Amino acid sequence: MTAPDKEFTSNQIKALRAETPGATNRLHFDNCGASLMPLPVLKVLRDHIDLEAKVGGYVAHEQQFAAHERVYGSLAALLGGEASNYALTSSAVDAWNKAFYSVALKPGDNIVTAFNEYCSNYVAFLQQARRHGAEVRVAKAGDDGALDLTHLESLIDQNTRLIAIAHVPSSSGQVNPVVEVGSIAKKHNVLYLLDACQAVGQMRVNVDEIGCDMLTGTSRKFMRGPRGVGFLYISDAARKAIEPAMLSNQAAAWVRADRYELRNDARIFEGWERNVADQLAFGAALDYLLALGPKKVFARTQSLAATLRAALYETAGVSGTCPENAKAAIVTFNKAGMTAPDVKAALEQQGIGVQVASVMHTRLDLEARGIESTVRVSPHYYNTEDEIERFVAAVRAL
């Protein structure tokens, strides 16, 4: 499906929803958790599983080798860089860990991160800091609630080995100034790892514009692919500067009894064993987005999010928990007299899917703002204005 005009027409939205089986009987506002897959993605997934059933996993992969190779090119077409700069992994966390744990640390070194960093990343910081005698330095929020770039830069010194932040945190619609952080990283010649898990698929993300050395993301969120696939971007310079924390026969060739040779692309971070069906389906999701037109998809997604946030935050009994500068398609709130899990359960009974973000997800941010848990709502381009009205009415009536 192609749509060259600047905005989706109502008929195009109807067609998109007709290609989304899950949208028929459910109001799905959990796209930052797991989006609904469209039919073309489901077909690729099912077809490959059927092929594996007929010829076995190895032969099925051989027969789909060219299609599998195209996934890397589709990633580069969407996010920048070259196909050789991308590796496919089992999840975004897997991709991030493979990148982060490959950055060498020693006593006295430090890692710079942000106040709204994701829990999985932060516990990895703590482990490596304790293991190597390094320090975790956290850039604070400014008076406007946004990441304080002056403070972040002040934390960098000659012992800073990595700047690692999230593009969009998992517990709010805040968007970190990732391009500005990239300029700071380049100025100080420090490696820059960006967790773009919640950004890819809902807004423009381009590694060349951002200036990051490494970037990670997932298939299952705003990309509308299946669960069980992540990816890693790594620049050529960064790949040559670090060595993977672990190797496999996918990453290196055993050329003599006492010697191996590394690959010369990002796939040094891959393992041989993989879920080919899921990775092919992720490629289909990438191509689906590229065919629709990323600019149109992103514009509609952000417009729906802004409409939802405004309507929801004006509803009696609702308290918004996004920072004032939030603009991503993640909207968080609490309802007076109810816990966030209770709101989620009550909406689920009405066929409305949302999620809960707890203090454990972004502890430094939510704890500082006195938030134990909050309802997380995330629309996408295949949602409609009518669904927003229905959702706000449902929340009002709780």
DSSP sequence for 305-340 = HHHHHHHHHTSTTEEE-S-TT--SS-EEEEETTS-H
Tell me what pLDDT residue 338 has: 97
Structure tokens at 232: 């890693």
- Whether 4 shows a pLDDT value over 50: the answer reads no
Checking 247-252 for CB contacts under 8 A at 24+ apart, the result is: 248/272
- Report the number of secondary-structure helices (H) and strands (E) in the chain: 15, 15
Tell me what pLDDT residue 1 has: 41
Tell me what pLDDT residue 6 has: 74
Q: How many CA atoms lie within 13 A of 31 on its CB side?
A: 32
Tell me what pLDDT residue 139 has: 98
> How confident is the model over 49-61, as a mean pLDDT?
98
Q: What's the CA gap between 31 and 54, in Å, rounded?
A: 34
Tell me what pLDDT residue 315 has: 97
> How confident is the model over 303-314, as a mean pLDDT?
97
- Whether 234 shows a pLDDT value over 80: the answer reads yes
pLDDT single digits (tens) 114-132: 999 999 999 999 999 999 9
Tell me what pLDDT residue 5 has: 56
- Rounded to two decimals, what is the model's pTM? 0.96
Give the pLDDT band of residue 312 (cuts 50, 70, 90): very high
> Which residues are 28's β-sheet partners?
353
**Single-letter amino acid code for the residue at 126:** L
- How far out from the chain centre does Cα 27 lie? 22
Strand boundaries in the chain, DSSP class E: 27-28, 86-89, 110-114, 135-139, 160-166, 191-195, 214-218, 230-234, 252-256, 259-262, 318-320, 331-335, 352-353, 355-358, 373-377
Q: Which of these, 328, 355, 331, lies nearest to 343 by C-alpha position?
A: 355
Neighbours of 227 (CB within 10 A): 14
Share of residues in the chain with pLDDT > 90 (%): 98
- Whether 3 shows a pLDDT value over 80: the answer reads no
Tell me what pLDDT residue 394 has: 98
- How far out from the chain centre does Cα 238 lie? 21
Q: What's the CA gap between 343 and 335, in Å, rounded?
A: 7
- Round the average pLDDT of the chain to a whole number and report it: 96
Q: What's the CA gap between 172 and 200, in Å, rounded?
A: 15
Residues 202, 358, 377, 338: what is their CA dihedral angle, to the nearest 10 degrees? -170
pLDDT single digits (tens) 340-349: 999 999 999 9
Asked if 359 and 366 touch (Cβ cutoff 8 Å), the reply is yes
> How confident is the model over 11-21, as a mean pLDDT?
97
> How confident is the model over 313-322, as a mean pLDDT?
97
pLDDT single digits (tens) 167-220: 999 999 999 999 999 999 999 999 999 999 999 999 999 999 999 999 999 999
Tell me what pLDDT residue 254 has: 95
Give the pLDDT band of residue 313 (cuts 50, 70, 90): very high
Q: What's the CA gap between 398 and 387, in Å, rounded?
A: 17
